Structure 1
Amino acid sequence: MPRYLIERTFPDGLNIPMTDIGATAVGGVVMRNAEKGVTWIQSFVTPDKKRSFCIYEAPSPEAIRSTAQKNSLPVDKITEVRVLDPYFYL
């Protein structure tokens, strides 16, 4: 399955509470993604919470855009990536 880096901008910041409400919100994203064969692997968020960089596995960029729209998430850029493990070389 191809892997992608998704860049997002949140002008008001990304605030997911560490509560049942946050867990429900994140669980909903995961469920809606699965409907299109999209898997959210991991995300990195800037300290000001205005930008995120997410790793996804998906059949296509279009599947990512479609699920992002269903999840009301912005998509600035999608880049297909491969894993480079520095420890492989040691």
Structure 2
Amino acid sequence: MPFYIIERNFVEQLDPPIEAAPGINLINDEEDVRWVYSFLSVDRRRTYCLYEAASAEAIIAAAERAGMPYDVITEVDGRVMPTGVLAAVE
């Protein structure tokens, strides 16, 4: 299944509550989307999330149901390691 990086921009600083994760994961499960992990910017107004999904449309459907932005969605198929070697996204 393809992997995607999603950039999300927030108007307010994001303080992600731990208790929200199960609800987001339930929506993702229903849309056949897997949230791998996210990075949070220092100003807490942007996240960069790695997802596994059948399509960008599935990610959009899950994001809309969860009330989350999805400003940029980019399909990725490899990682460049510090050694210069190309590795699969896992």
Q: Same fold (TM over 0.5)?
A: yes
Equivalenced residue count is: 84
Could you tell me which runs of 5 or more consecutive residues in structure 1 were left unpaired when the two chains were aligned: 17-21
Specify the SS of the correspondent of 1:8: strand
Q: Identity of paired residues, percent? A: 39
**Are residue 24 (structure 1) and residue 4 (structure 2) matched?**
no
Deviation, structure 1 residue 58: 0.4
Q: Please report the TM-score for the alignment, with normalisation by the length of structure 2.
A: 0.86
Structure holding more strand per residue:
2
Q: Deviation string for 1:21-55 (max 9, x for gaps)?
A: x2321111011101011000010010110011000
Amino acid at match of 1:48: D
Partner of 2:88 in structure 1? none
How well do the aligned residues superpose, as a CA RMSD in angstroms? Answer: 1.4
Q: Please report the TM-score for the alignment, with normalisation by the length of structure 1.
A: 0.86
